[in-house]
Structure 1
Amino acid sequence: MQIPKGKKIYFASDNHLGAPTKEASLPREKKFVAWLDEVKKDAAVIFLLGDLFDFWMDYKYVVPKGFTRTLGKLAEISDAGIPIYYFVGNHDLWMDDYFETELNIPVYHKPKEFTFNNKTFFIGHGDGLGPGDKGYKRMKKVFTNPVCKWLFRWLHPDIGVRLAQHLSVKNKLISGDDDAKFLGEDNEWLVQYCKRKLETKHRHFFVFGHRHLPLNINLDNNSKYINLGDWIQYYTYGVFDGENLELKKY
């Protein structure tokens, strides 16, 4: 895909709307909606890299209550013909077809490669990739098991959503979140994952979320790893102008 002159690609991740409570996250939601309203003016594509909500579950007939401002703005942008791509994170693993059927937003459950202006991007949320983090990887297999998802759906939504929100905030193993401190390139597992991917195929940009740290790391002379940070502490996002990908703060 060639990006039209004057247009840009935007990336954001890890809003965790609803945490620690919906009331407490409302100012952050309003700020994110204001950002969406601003970037839609020159956006060619918008990528949302997961954990937009602190918990999300597509039941057969209902979805979690709230987040009307965000969903309405996404619908407006999508209806205007601006493509939005969504990658599920570890807090919204159970997103099914609601975004696709209601908002016309494709949903991806694994990292995916894109090419814009002859620049290759490898994009995903980032959870469960690279070496280590074995406890979370085992937990993710449980959560994504079709039988486990089917059993959870039998809980009344009032019970299921409350239980999931409690576990999301309280249990670090389930959330997959580490303390957001830079561990050095040798210990950052997403950096190691990107370097291993480069051994088999070159990509110009690896773009992930999940770490809640804004990072811009050169992997070699012509490849970068970008972590988008979050919309809790940093309010950072990525923007590609057709040639360069930069991190910016809103």
Structure 2
Amino acid sequence: MNKPPKNIYFASDQHFGIPDSESSKLREKKFISWLDEVKNDAEAIFLLGDLFDFWFEYKTVVPKGFVRVLGKIAELRDSGIPIYFFVGNHDLWMVDYFEKELGIPVYHHPKEYEFEGKTFLIGHGDGLGPGDKGYKRMKKIFAHPLSKWFYRWVHPDIGVKLAQYLSTKNKLISGQEDIKFLGEENEWLAQYAKRKLEQKHYDYFLFGHRHLPMEIEVGKNSKYINTGDWISHFTYAVFDGKDLTLKTYQ
């Protein structure tokens, strides 16, 4: 008897923690319900960044909360399902907590994969392509080891509150100055994909960050797909071994 086909799932931009604890927990429970459904046929799960609206790893402390989603991810990983995490601009300061506690590899840059003969370039998407210049300058500062060292000296009760405030009030820091659809020719990540195709062919470019589910043809037999978010769209992508499609979780 043939085994049912396995799927690879991709989701991003849950931003748990905003706008407040109560509504965030409702979204967290919805995401956990989705994880419970996809675990039945998941070959792998890719989380493409900004799982939390803010995450900073002190040497002995991580942000309070998120026990439901962390517990569910741990359960799926312990069951043998590979899970991969790409940091976003809101969890930029993730270090090794996921790797040590959950057994989940963490990546800070886009990475190439091949599934069933199809080539993928996968990442969060912040700071890629033309534009977004203000955020790119900010990212260099925040990602610098010296910046992280200084921030660790700030007490977590102050540091977490400060970062949460800035992530919601300062769109330059968050890398989300404008989340309106810019048109297929003007979307930064679509332009980035087209430039990458000049060097090498990819069947799919798969990113988050824009908070807008979209699918754009960027070349011959090549697509850029954005996974949207779990704030207002509740969208994800799934690869069934032949095609990569966007879906909405109801």
TM-score (norm 1): 0.97
Tell whether the 8 Å contact from 1:178 to 1:211 is kept in structure 2 after alignment.
no
1:2-151 equivalences under 5 Å are 6-151=5-150
Secondary structure of the 2:182 match is coil
Structure 1 CA distance, aligned partners of 2:88 and 2:26? Answer: 22
Tell whether the 8 Å contact from 2:86 to 2:109 is kept in structure 1 after alignment.
yes
Q: What code does the residue aligned with 2:121 have?
A: F
Aligned to 2:201: 202
Query: How big is the shift at 1:42?
Result: 0.3
Aligned to 2:212: 213
Query: How big is the shift at 1:178?
Result: 3.1
Tell whether the 8 Å contact from 2:216 to 2:224 is kept in structure 1 after alignment.
yes
Secondary structure of the 1:195 match is helix
4+ runs deviating over 6 angstroms: none
Structure 1 CA distance, aligned partners of 2:62 and 2:225? Answer: 32
Aligned to 2:166: 167
Tell whether the 8 Å contact from 2:49 to 2:91 is kept in structure 1 after alignment.
yes
Structure 2 CA distance, aligned partners of 1:216 and 1:129? Answer: 17
Query: How big is the shift at 1:181?
Result: 1.6
Query: How big is the shift at 1:20?
Result: 1.4
Structure 2 CA distance, aligned partners of 1:8 and 1:207? Answer: 16
TM-score (norm 2): 0.97
Unaligned ranges ≥5, structure 2: none
Secondary structure of the 1:166 match is helix
Query: How big is the shift at 1:41?
Result: 0.4
Unaligned ranges ≥5, structure 1: none
**Seq. identity, %:** 70
Query: How big is the shift at 1:5?
Result: 5.2
Paired positions, count: 247
Tell whether the 8 Å contact from 2:203 to 2:223 is kept in structure 1 after alignment.
yes
Structure 1 CA distance, aligned partners of 2:229 and 2:179? Answer: 10
Query: How big is the shift at 1:162?
Result: 0.4
Aligned to 1:192: 191
Aligned to 2:246: 247
Structure 2 CA distance, aligned partners of 1:220 and 1:139? Answer: 31
Secondary structure of the 1:33 match is helix
1:143-175 CA distance string (max 9 Å, x none): 000000000000110010000000000001100
